[in-house]
Each structure stands twice: as C-alpha cells, then as structure tokens.
Amino acid sequence: MYDVGTIDFAVYEDSDEFVGMASVTLPDKNQKVITINGAGVGGDVEVPVSGHYDAMTITFAFTNYSPRVARLREHRRHNIELRVAQQNEDPVAGQLVTDAVKHVLVVVPKSASGGTVAPASPGDMTIVASVRYWATYVNGKKLDEIDPLNRVDIVNGVDYNAPVRAALGK
C-alpha cells in the first residue's frame, strides 16, 4: 500500500461546511527539547520532553471574504473538523483505496490577512489560529491526539503522557 494524495477535503465548524475554502495548512508538531551535556557526554544531546510541544498554528486560506469567514474570526474557541478523502494504491491487489482522514481541532483565531483584490481572480484571504487541541483519525481509528491542557499525547495509538498523568495523580 502506498500513499497517492488528497482527492478532496471539507472543513466544518459545528456541522456547518465552509464552502469555498481554498486550502488549510496544518500545524507542525515540534516537541520541546532539553539539551543535556556534561561529564560523560561528548557534546550536546537534545532530548524531546514527553507531552510538551511548541505552540501550534493552523492557517485557513479562502478565495473570498464572507459571513462564514467573518464567523471564524470571532474571538472564541472554534470546533473544527477537517475531513479528507485520501487516495492510496494497493499494488498487490491492483486497487485504488480511499481512506477517510479526519482532523478534529479546537482553534482560537489570532490574525487575518485581507488578501488581494483584483479583477477576475480569487482573493487570498487567510486566517491564522492557535491550536488548543488536535486529534487525527484514519478510517475511524484515532491515531494521534495532542491536548496540552489535559496532558494527552497520543502518537500512533499510544498515550505517551499516561505515565505522566499517573505520576501526578491525575
């Protein structure tokens, strides 16, 4: 099985679809690191700290400004679902396979670009938001979840922060 690419996607907020969205740039998942050095260590070694990530940012790009876009700029938490139809190929069976990928995010807008206005062309208005929560499902199975406020760090189905919560009595 190998990945081919995205067939199409849809973005929803509270079950209301954002029609006309051009693209979404998902956040980077950068773990915070501690640099260790000293006796017995030949130089510096970076050690990723379990469950700690740099702030995550998502960018929504639109072709036009609309009431739905204005709603996404409201100063509040937004519950977003990004649903992706992803095409893969099984070369052994000779079949194309469509996987359902769903990103569930809680975001808070932090900036917006007015974009460009020009004749006979789409605008390129963007909204940038801070990500407070992000879970990813493939064909209904949760693979990843980052929830810094509740100390959840699931990668490929394994909760690496479960021992941390247990050590803290949570």
- Going along the chain from its start, the domains and CATH numbers come out as 2-24+56-167 (2.30.110)
| Start-to-end CA span in the chain (Å) | 40
Collect all residues with Cβ–Cβ distance below 8 Å to 139 and sequence separation of at least 6. 99, 100
Task: Give the angle 163-164-168 at the CA atoms, nearest 5°.
Answer: 115
Structure tokens at 82: 């990004």
Cα dihedral 52→129→11→157 (10° resolution)? 0
Question: The tokens 């996404």 sit on which residue?
Answer: 72
pLDDT < 70 regions, the chain: none
pTM of the model: 0.90
